[in-house]
């Protein structure tokens, strides 16, 4: 019987297989950041253990880093201690670190791919649930807990329980103005926030094949929001082209050998998935969330749903609670929801293509009165590239704030937060209660919808904007 | 992690049921970046009361916690185990533990012993009557002994073996070092390396 992509990558990493025990898997790439690593290093220290493979380990600072005044001392003592601890640990153990101010610093899931470290057929782990992002390259990538971080540091392996596989086939073509973000929000709304539990999802089909690497990362990033262990997309020419020439991509003969291997990484024709979902791309539209979990979403043209319309009692209750927290009423058109804040950034939508897409919408337009728009590049490299293309000017001319790279308002561990009751349109991945600040209300959107919303002052898409634009002076 | 074979020590009777991990170590302690230094956070809210059993001078240096049923419910924080260990506890006895807490405790070398509530009651009475009374928890023989109390307990063979030998997950994996080295030897050259070019 044929094997799925995920099974092939798994099999290629088995260090030890014993009947009745979990497989011991080798880990090709271990990414670290300041929040989930300190106790892991502390554990190594206590047991006198070194980091086994420094050449497969890399760290960056992202969750706590400020996005303004980055040369000043960090005000919040907890954030400061976490960052200082990471620096101390990396120096002591010899781990490569890209700290705040470094040109390779940024959100860990943006940094790995852009350095060319995330490659097809690799196993990638990080103490962070959105590690699923790296699956866009055909890597088996998943988030781990702090004791597993320590385990990988010490042994470069992990004992792992087997997973099930789910194929999500997206056929057809995404209509104009419909993005990868809309697609993944629609998928999560369809299968639910627990629909992927225990599964590795494989996104496939003609609509997926046409997507850029950035768009594929947006999709795999949010696999975790469907409860999945990981998300994957088979590598192809788009993947190889993205990687070729990057700092850590193979070169010369190694490149040829790598590509030959990468080409074998797809699910066999006769591979059997444990579950299958089919989505028709042509039927999709811009999608936004109205509730407090990423599965509570609807097309932008819809109205806030009536909780009474849910047959399932727990879903009804969840919807009622969500509407109350979000300050919305059933039947209200989603397009009429006013926002105070627009956030463009995060490991979901903080890459160069996302910034280009948002900039293309806002160019020559103005952020609506009373709306604050934050644009936070996913990494310093993304920021530099955007500045090179003049995108920062496009945003500032429109009245948006151009910030330094980091996680920022995606989770509000740094000073970028919503005030209680404030409402945002955000390109990030979680609309949980309080995620962007205590009492803050979050609507998840694509970069295009974020930009249009900033101009309109209420949720809307580029199609809702008038044609009038003022040229931006270079 | 430290091996556990047999431990004898004085006890603290904690006559409360449903002690959740937030009571064991409150959330604001989770901001710490080490695995030690949690002793002052242990039962922090209760310890503000000088009458709380842990504050009594005669309990100083006790190493066995005899707790009520459903100990360790709530959030999965491993810090709860660290806090108990940092304070000096080697073992916790209760008639029922929350699953995740129990898993975390055994992983970290804190032996959690499940005994009948009747036996727990007897241990409470003993240690309340005589704070100097010692309790022995013998993992070799899977038995708890104290004046007037002899009670067998169960623990699955794998967890017992790990505790007796002081093996944490990492040391168990490192026993397979030859397999890891062999795998490393056959990894293709084109695999990525983080070493700066
Ligand atoms: S950008 Fe958001 S989701 Fe991504 S790593 Fe940072 S906090 Fe997590």
Structure ipTM: 0.94
Q: Which residues of B touch A (CB under 8 A)?
A: 31, 33-36, 78, 107, 168-170, 173-174, 176, 179-180, 183-184, 187-197
Q: How far apart are CA A305 and CA A195, in angstroms?
A: 21
Q: Which residues pair with A458 in a beta bridge?
A: A338
Q: How far apart are CA A318 and CA A315, in angstroms?
A: 5
Handedness of CA A195, A196, A199, A204 (dihedral sign): positive
Q: How far apart are CA A28 and CA A55, in angstroms?
A: 10
Question: pLDDT tens digits, chain A, 474 residues: what are they?
Answer: 899 999 999 999 999 999 988 999 999 999 999 999 999 999 999 999 999 999 999 999 999 999 999 989 898 888 999 999 999 999 999 999 999 999 999 999 999 999 999 999 999 999 999 999 999 999 999 999 898 999 999 999 999 988 999 999 999 999 999 999 999 999 999 999 999 999 999 999 999 999 999 999 999 999 999 999 999 999 999 999 999 999 999 999 999 999 999 999 999 999 999 999 999 999 999 999 999 999 999 999 999 999 999 999 989 999 999 999 999 999 999 999 999 999 999 999 999 999 999 999 999 999 999 999 999 999 999 999 999 999 999 999 999 999 999 999 999 888 999 999 999 999 999 999 999 999 999 999 999 999 999 999 999 999 999 888 887 765
Q: Which residues pair with A168 in a beta bridge?
A: A203, A277
Q: Nearest C-alpha to atom 4 of ligand 1 is from which residue?
A: A347
In this prediction, residue B10 carries a pLDDT of: 98
In this prediction, residue A467 carries a pLDDT of: 82
Is the separation of the CB atoms in A54 and A64 below 8 Å? no
Burial classification of residue A75, based on how many CB atoms lie within 10 Å of its CB (0-12 exposed, 13-18 middle, 19 or more buried): exposed
In this prediction, residue A367 carries a pLDDT of: 98
| Nearest chain B residue (CA) to A14 | B183
User: Residue B92, by phi and psi: left (phi above 0), alpha (psi -120 to 50) or beta?
Assistant: beta
Cβ–Cβ gap A155/B180 under 8 Å: yes
Cβ–Cβ gap B192/A57 under 8 Å: no
Is any atom of ligand 1 closer than 6 Å to the C-beta of A451? Answer: no
> Considering just the CA atoms, what is the radius of gyration of chain B in Å?
20
Ligand 1 centroid to A404 CA: how many Å? 15
Burial classification of residue A262, based on how many CB atoms lie within 10 Å of its CB (0-12 exposed, 13-18 middle, 19 or more buried): buried
Q: How far apart are CA B13 and CA B133, in angstroms?
A: 12
Ligand 1 centroid to A347 CA: how many Å? 6
Exposure on the CB side of residue A212, measured as CA atoms within 13 A: 10
Handedness of CA B38, B39, B43, B48 (dihedral sign): negative
Rounded mean pLDDT of B140-147? 98
Is the separation of the CB atoms in A343 and A450 below 8 Å? yes
Q: How far apart are CA B140 and CA B6, in angstroms?
A: 7
Is the pLDDT at B197 greater than 70, yes or no? no
Cβ–Cβ gap A15/B35 under 8 Å: no
Q: Encoding tokens for residue A331?
A: 């039947």
| Nearest chain A residue (CA) to B166 | A47
In this prediction, residue A474 carries a pLDDT of: 53
What per-residue string of b and e applies to B55-91 under the rule 16 or more CB within 10 Å gives b?
A: eeeebeebbbbbbbebbbbbbebbbbbbbbbbbebbb
Closest CA to A133 of A462, A429, A445, A464: A429
Residue carrying structure tokens 């040229």: A471
For a mutational test of ligand 1's pocket, the pick from A34, A61, A62, A378, i.e. the residue with the most ligand atoms closer than 8 A to its C-beta, is A62
Q: How far apart are CA B180 and CA A13, in angstroms?
A: 10
Q: Encoding tokens for residue B121?
A: 């009651």
Exposure on the CB side of residue B106, measured as CA atoms within 13 A: 20
Q: What percent of chain B has pLDDT over 70?
A: 99
Name the maximum alpha-carbon separation found in chain A.
68
Q: How many CB pairs under 8 A join A and B?
A: 97
Q: Encoding tokens for residue B185?
A: 């030897």
Q: How far apart are CA A240 and CA A244, in angstroms?
A: 6
Is any atom of ligand 1 closer than 6 Å to the C-beta of A407? Answer: yes
In degrees, to the nearest 5, what angle opens at C-alpha A64 toward C-alphas A60 and A69? 100
Q: Encoding tokens for residue A132?
A: 């699923």
Is any atom of ligand 1 closer than 6 Å to the C-beta of A429? Answer: yes
Q: Which residues pair with B20 in a beta bridge?
A: B73
In this prediction, residue B20 carries a pLDDT of: 92
Cβ–Cβ gap B176/A255 under 8 Å: no
Cβ–Cβ gap A15/B183 under 8 Å: yes
| Nearest chain B residue (CA) to A13 | B183
Rounded mean pLDDT of B114-123? 97
Q: How far apart are CA A387 and CA A401, in angstroms?
A: 13
In this prediction, residue B1 carries a pLDDT of: 85
Q: How far is CA A303 from the centre of its chain?
A: 27
């Amino acid at each position: 019987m044929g094997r799925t992509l995920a099974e092939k990558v798994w099999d290629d990493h088995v260090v030890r297989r014993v009947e009745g025990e979990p497989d011991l898997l080798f880990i090709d790439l271990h990414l670290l950041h300041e929040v989930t690593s300190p106790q892991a290093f502390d554990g190594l220290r206590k047991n006198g253990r070194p980091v086994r493979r420094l050449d497969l380990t890399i760290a960056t600072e992202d969750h706590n880093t400020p996005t303004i005044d980055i040369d000043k001392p960090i005000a919040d003592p907890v954030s400061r201690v976490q960052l200082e601890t990471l620096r101390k640990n990396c120096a002591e153990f010899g781990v490569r670190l890209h700290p705040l101010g470094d040109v390779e610093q940024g959100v860990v899931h943006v940094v790995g791919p852009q350095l060319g470290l995330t490659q097809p057929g690799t196993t990638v782990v990080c103490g962070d649930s959105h590690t699923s992002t790296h699956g866009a390259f055909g890597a088996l990538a998943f988030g781990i807990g702090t004791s597993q971080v320590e385990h990988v540091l010490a042994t470069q392996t992990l004992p792992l329980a087997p997973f099930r596989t789910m194929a999500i086939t997206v056929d057809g073509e995404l209509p104009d103005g419909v993005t990868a973000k809309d697609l993944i929000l629609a998928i999560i709304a369809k299968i639910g926030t627990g629909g992927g539990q225990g599964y590795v999802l494989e996104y496939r089909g003609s609509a997926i094949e046409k997507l850029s690497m950035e768009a594929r990362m947006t999709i795999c990033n949010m696999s975790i929001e469907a409860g999945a262990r990981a998300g994957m997309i088979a590598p192809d020419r788009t993947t190889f082209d993205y990687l070729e020439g990057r700092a850590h991509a193979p070169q010369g003969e190694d490149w040829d050998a790598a590509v030959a291997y990468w080409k074998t990484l797809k699910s066999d024709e006769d591979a059997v998935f444990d579950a299958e979902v089919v989505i028709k791309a042509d039927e999709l539209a811009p999608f936004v969330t109205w509730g407090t979990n990423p599965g509570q979403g609807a097309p932008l043209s819809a109205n806030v749903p009536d909780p009474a319309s849910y047959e399932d009692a727990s879903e009804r209750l969840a919807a009622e609670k969500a509407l109350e927290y979000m300050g919305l009423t059933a039947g209200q058109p989603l397009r009429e929801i006013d926002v105070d804040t627009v956030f463009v950034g995060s490991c979901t939508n903080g890459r160069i293509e996302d910034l280009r897409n948002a900039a293309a919408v806002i160019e020559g337009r103005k952020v609506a009165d009373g709306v604050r728009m934050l644009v936070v590049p996913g990494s310093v490299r993304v920021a530099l590239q955007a500045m090179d293309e003049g995108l920062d000017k496009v945003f500032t001319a429109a009245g948006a704030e151009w910030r330094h790279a980091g996680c920022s308002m995606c989770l509000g561990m740094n000073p970028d937060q919503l005030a209680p009751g404030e409402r945002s349109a955000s390109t990030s991945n979680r609309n949980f209660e309080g995620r962007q600040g205590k009492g803050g209300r979050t609507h998840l959107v694509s970069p295009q919808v974020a930009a249009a919303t900033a101009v309109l002052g209420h949720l809307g898409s580029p199609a809702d904007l008038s044609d009038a634009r003022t040229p931006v002076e270079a | 992690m430290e091996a556990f074979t047999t431990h004898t020590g004085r006890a603290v009777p904690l006559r409360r049921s449903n002690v959740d991990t937030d009571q064991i170590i409150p959330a604001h302690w989770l901001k710490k970046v080490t695995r030690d230094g949690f002793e002052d956070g242990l039962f922090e809210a209760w310890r503000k009361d000088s009458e709380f059993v842990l504050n009594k001078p005669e309990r100083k240096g006790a190493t066995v916690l005899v707790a009520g049923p459903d100990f360790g419910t709530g959030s999965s924080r491993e810090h709860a185990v660290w806090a108990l260990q940092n304070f000096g506890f080697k073992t916790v006895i209760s008639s029922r533990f929350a699953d995740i807490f129990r898993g975390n405790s055994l992983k970290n070398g804190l032996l959690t012993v499940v005994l009948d509530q009747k036996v727990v009651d007897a241990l409470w009475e003993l240690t309340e009557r005589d704070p100097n009374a010692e309790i022995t928890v013998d993992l070799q023989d899977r038995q708890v002994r104290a004046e007037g109390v002899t009670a067998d307990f169960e623990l699955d063979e794998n967890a017992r073996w790990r505790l007796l030998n002081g093996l944490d997950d990492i040391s168990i994996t490192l026993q397979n070092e030859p397999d890891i080295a062999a795998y490393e030897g056959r990894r293709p050259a084109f695999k990525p390396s983080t070493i700066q070019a």
